[in-house]
Structure 1
Amino acid sequence: MTLSVRRSLAALAVGAALVTAGCGAAGPDRAAVVDGTVISETHLQTAMAEVNGMDPALLQQPLTPTGTLTALVQAPVVLGYLGERGIVVSDSLARREARERGVTDPSEGTLDIIRLASSITAAQQSGQLTEADGAALTEQLRSLDIEVNPRYGTFDPDTASVQLVSPEWVTPVDAQ
């Protein structure tokens, strides 16, 4: 698998970024709105806490709020795309995976992240996820109307992920 495919897949899987608090909001308890569907901050925080609390860990690195939001934004598109290619991780399989990792009553967000991670892994291992697929997924994600609460960053259509950005009014501090 080429480096560019790995980078595309990494961005599609779960973009990892550090988070800082921002000003403004997309609405009360809204982390993002994707084509009219609200991803609440509560939903995001619950999924992040459950996934990060898994033992053994589901992911190599702990999720950040921005990374969790990226996964929740991408999950419906990526899971639909892979499902059309016969790569499906069922709800019961995701629940079993959560239980085996210590989460007895996983939230829908947690189940989405488990299905996303498991589907991408299966697609990669079977060679069914190509660079062209990464480009097609990115294009599908670009076509969505995505409004992100500034606290979590902005949606970057080039990487199809939520990226943390510093507001223009924040001036970097000189380390000296």
Structure 2
Amino acid sequence: MHRRRRTAFLVTAAIAAAPLLTACGNDARPGAAAVVGGQRITVAQLEDRVDEVRAAQRAAVRDDAQYAQAVARTGTLTRTTLQSMVLDRVLHRAAQDAGVTVSRKEVQQMRTGLERQVGGAQALETAWLEQYDVAPERLDDNLRLQLEAQKLAEKLGTDTSRPEFWKALSEASKKLDIDLNPRYGTWDVDKSSRADVKTPWLRDVTAAGPGQTA
């Protein structure tokens, strides 16, 4: 589970803020939160993803006070969600370039194994929501990306913490010519990470979930 936990952190959580090195353009296209490979991630799509997480958080807690705490704990949710949406596409492109594919069967096998470890489907959904801000309806998509990251690292003869892996993501970022709406920051192609224009950001998402080890 060590590699799986590391990969989950990679593809779903905010990555530590990087210095502002590269801004891919001055303005994103109108109505877009980001443009990745010529395809728009619209503000509406971003808001829908944030709403999914908020709805899941609301359903998971007993009262308004607990929900308020969950919201406060994820105060940068919009920006970290956009970070994840862009990074997902970067990772998928890097995997494609390396000839890496993931089957539906592999995703289901991974999910089944995780469910056994944490105590069932609901426990897994709760863990991914709390640790990685992944709504239940996005869980399979997230696991697919985790597997892509794991298999990409293996194809490169490395792991997701090594420079060789991040170099592949950096190359994919450059090919995709990522352009963020300035309200959400900029994209650092060298770090494959979002950076704020004025204030660096960092959110503590390193705690291991149930059945996982640091």
Give the equivalent residue in structure 1 for 2:144.
115
Q: What secondary structure does 2:34 align onto? A: strand
**What residue ranges of structure 1 are gaps of 5+ in the alignment?**
1-5, 19-23, 168-176
The answer to whether 1:76 aligns with 2:89 is yes
Query: What one-letter code is carried by the residue in structure 1 that aligns with 2:145?
Result: L
| Higher relative contact order structure (alpha carbons within 8 Å, sequence separation ≥ 6) | 2
Supply the distance in 1 between the matched residues of 2:91 and 2:80 (Cα, whole angstroms).
15
The alpha carbon displacement at 1:32 in A equals 0.6
Give the equivalent residue in structure 1 for 2:21.
none
Supply the distance in 1 between the matched residues of 2:86 and 2:99 (Cα, whole angstroms).
20
TM-score, normalised on structure 2? 0.48
* 1:26–1:150 CA contact under 8 A, matched in 2: yes
Give the equivalent residue in structure 1 for 2:178.
146
Q: Give the alignment's Cα RMSD to 1 decimal.
A: 4.5
* 1:72–1:113 CA contact under 8 A, matched in 2: no
The structure carrying a bigger helix percent of its residues is 2
* 1:154–1:164 CA contact under 8 A, matched in 2: yes
* 2:170–2:191 CA contact under 8 A, matched in 1: yes
Aligned length: 147
**What residue ranges of structure 2 are gaps of 5+ in the alignment?**
1-5, 18-25, 61-72, 116-120, 127-134, 200-214
Identity %: 27
Give the equivalent residue in structure 2 for 1:131.
163
Question: What are the equivalent positions in structure 2 for 1:1-176 lying under 5 Å apart?
Answer: 14-16=13-15, 26-51=28-53, 54=56, 62=74, 64-82=77-95, 84=98, 86=100, 88=102, 90=104, 93=108, 100=122, 101=125, 106=137, 112-117=141-146, 119-120=148-149, 129=160, 130-166=162-198
**Residues 121/86 of structure 1: CA separation in 2 closer, same or farther (3 Å cut):** closer
TM-score, normalised on structure 1? 0.57
